[in-house]
Amino acid sequence: MDASGGLPVGAEGRTIVGLPATELAARVRAGELSAVDVVRAHLAHLDEVEARVGAFRVVRRQAALAEAAAVDAAPDRGSLPLAGVPIAVKDNVDVAGEACTDGSPACPSRTAAQDHPVVARLRAAGAVVVGLTRAPELCLYASTDGPGTVSRNPWDTARSPAGSSGGSAAAVASGAVPLAHGNDGLGSLRLPAAACGLVTLKPGRGVVPAGIGADDWSGMAENGALATTVADLALAHAVMAGEEPAPPVAPDRPLRVAVSTRSPLPGIRADGPARAAVDAVVGLLTAAGHTVVRRDPPVSPGAAAGAVARWMAGAANDAEHLGIDLADLQPRSRTHARIGRAVRAAGLVRPATADRFRQRMTAFFADVDLLLSPVTTGPPLPARPWHERSFLANVTANARWAPWTAAWNLAGLPALVLPAGTRPEGHPLAVQFAGPPGAETRLLWVAGELERRQPWRRYAPVFDPTAPPVPAPA
């Protein structure tokens, strides 16, 4: 037994950790595994990897084991979609009995009395919350770090798992949990998925309960999940959306997919490997009988400015919502929030900007089903204490690395990121698909087809819990 009372990963635990969430839940429902053994095995693996990746702010050992025991004893265990599945929750939504900090050490301590609606839905489906994952302060940045801690990418610990759902992505990519909650205001699910070789879906507006911070960054932020398989992602999405879990329905005809590699930001472009990943996916789509056309979406400078205005105002709104004095924020966040106050005072967060942009982007899909694009311009940012650097250094690094995600937040349209190979140095490569309102099922279906045609490695190699144990030296 390990220190948490769990099965050692090298013994029975190795047959549990690394199983997809769908399989774990099926085996718990059937009584082949107990939820307690599943959670113990994952806590043991978490103990092995956490010191190297820094994914968690809080690990709920005893609470998680008690919740698992309750799942085992539940009369309806046989019908729970996520029976006994260990999950992690990003530290910016409420988990009953825990303090939510939104990634800020300056956040006043407050114990949540009840779960956020998406957490409540996950728990009602049988999932067990094993911990709260790290996020950058106020979830503002594309790296995950703070005073005394730098979260690291399991694929290369010298690199960041991105942000702001970086702790959740590191937890899944290292095998500590098979599923994790996160959310996405400018790419905060999709960028960690791209950096850590995972699959994720940012739902369209109103599909999954938001309720993130003061006002969801003026309506841009959505809750979602990070997973290693499309089936796991589809299951978690259905649970959070309050839908009956079911495999995505195939379209009744081949898809017509637009492809664009042009960056929305002038002077920034995807590097060779990122463009090659898009080309490889184009080849898979064409081989499957789908039609591919080259077409750039109508992302205007005014729309980009509208997204940035909401990002800035979001820092000020959330700090006030949480009762944080701006003087107590990290220097980069303090500047961010002060600019946000000025943006808000000037009336630059205009609903009409988002409404017009949503109409324009929806019209783009009048004769195409989906859009394929890169996600990032190059490998993940270095893992370093970015919170010690200036606001300008953070914003510049973020914008140069990830220009393709923000438009879909402003438009409130769904977008999905999935693995599409590895870079020459071994980092994951990813692509993004986006679609019109209501395209979540279509996105999940096409992701599943691509996963079937070109399976990806589910875990970072060094942390892979499914790999055979290394023999001890003779």
Contact assessment for residue 420 and residue 431, using Cβ atoms and an 8 Å cutoff: yes
Name the amino acid, one letter, at 461: P
Q: Quote the pLDDT of residue 8.
A: 39
Size (the chain), residues: 474
Residue 256 has pLDDT above 50, yes or no: yes
Instruction: Write the CB contacts of 125 (distance below 8 Å, at least 6 apart in sequence).
Output: 80, 81, 82, 83, 239
Please report, for residues 128, 154, 240, the alpha-carbon distance to residue 36 in angstroms, rounded to integers and kept in the order given: 10, 26, 23
Contact assessment for residue 206 and residue 144, using Cβ atoms and an 8 Å cutoff: no
User: Where residue 163 falls among pLDDT bands split at 50, 70, 90?
Assistant: very high
Q: Tokens in use for 211? A: 């309720």
Q: Tokens in use for 461? A: 């190699």
Q: Quote the pLDDT of residue 10.
A: 47
- Tens of pLDDT along 231-254? 999 999 999 999 999 999 999 999
H or E element at residue 88: strand 86-90
The model's pTM: 0.96
Q: So where are the chain's domains?
A: 12-463
CATH number assigned to the domain covering 12-463: 3.90.1300.10
- H helices of 222-271, in order, are 230-241
**Torsion angle in degrees (nearest 10) through CA of 196, 469, 17, 180:** -10
User: DSSP assignment, residue 58?
Assistant: E
Q: Quote the pLDDT of residue 225.
A: 99
Closest CA to 186 of 363, 340, 398, 343: 398
Contact assessment for residue 136 and residue 145, using Cβ atoms and an 8 Å cutoff: yes
- Tens of pLDDT along 267-321? 999 999 999 999 999 999 999 999 999 999 999 888 999 999 999 999 999 999 9
- Report the catalytic residues: 90, 164, 188
Contact assessment for residue 315 and residue 372, using Cβ atoms and an 8 Å cutoff: no
Name the β-bridge partners of 422: 428
Name the amino acid, one letter, at 292: V
Please report, for residues 22, 124, 250, 372, 448, the alpha-carbon distance to residue 230 in angstroms, rounded to integers and kept in the order given: 10, 21, 14, 17, 6
- Tens of pLDDT along 38-75? 999 999 999 999 999 999 999 999 999 999 999 999 99
User: Where residue 6 falls among pLDDT bands split at 50, 70, 90?
Assistant: very low
Q: Tokens in use for 365? A: 């899909």
Name the β-bridge partners of 291: 256
- Tens of pLDDT along 393-427? 999 999 999 999 999 999 999 999 999 999 999 99
Under DSSP, is residue 396 helix (H, G, I), strand (E, B) or coil?
Answer: helix
Q: In terms of DSSP bridges, do strands 428-434 and 415-422 run parallel, antiparallel, or are they unpaired?
A: antiparallel
Contact assessment for residue 297 and residue 122, using Cβ atoms and an 8 Å cutoff: no
Phi-psi region at 219: left, alpha or beta (left = phi > 0; alpha = psi -120 to 50) = left
Q: How far is CA 237 from the centre of its chain?
A: 12
Residue 2 has pLDDT above 60, yes or no: no
Q: Cα-flanking dihedrals φ and ψ of residue 225, to 5°?
A: -135, 155
Residue found under tokens 């220097």: 331
Q: Quote the pLDDT of residue 470.
A: 56
Contact assessment for residue 269 and residue 377, using Cβ atoms and an 8 Å cutoff: yes
H or E element at residue 255: none
User: What's the angle, vertex CA 267, arms to CA 291 and CA 384, rounded to 5?
Assistant: 100
Percent of the chain at pLDDT > 90 equals: 94
Please report, for residues 222, 233, 296, 434, 441, the alpha-carbon distance to residue 437 in angstroms, rounded to integers and kept in the order given: 14, 19, 18, 10, 11
Q: Quote the pLDDT of residue 3.
A: 34
What distance in Å separates the CA atoms of residue 431 and residue 79, rounded to the nearest whole number? 35
- Neighbouring CB atoms inside 10 A of 120's CB total 15
Q: Quote the pLDDT of residue 12.
A: 57
What distance in Å separates the CA atoms of residue 291 and residue 159, rounded to the nearest whole number? 36
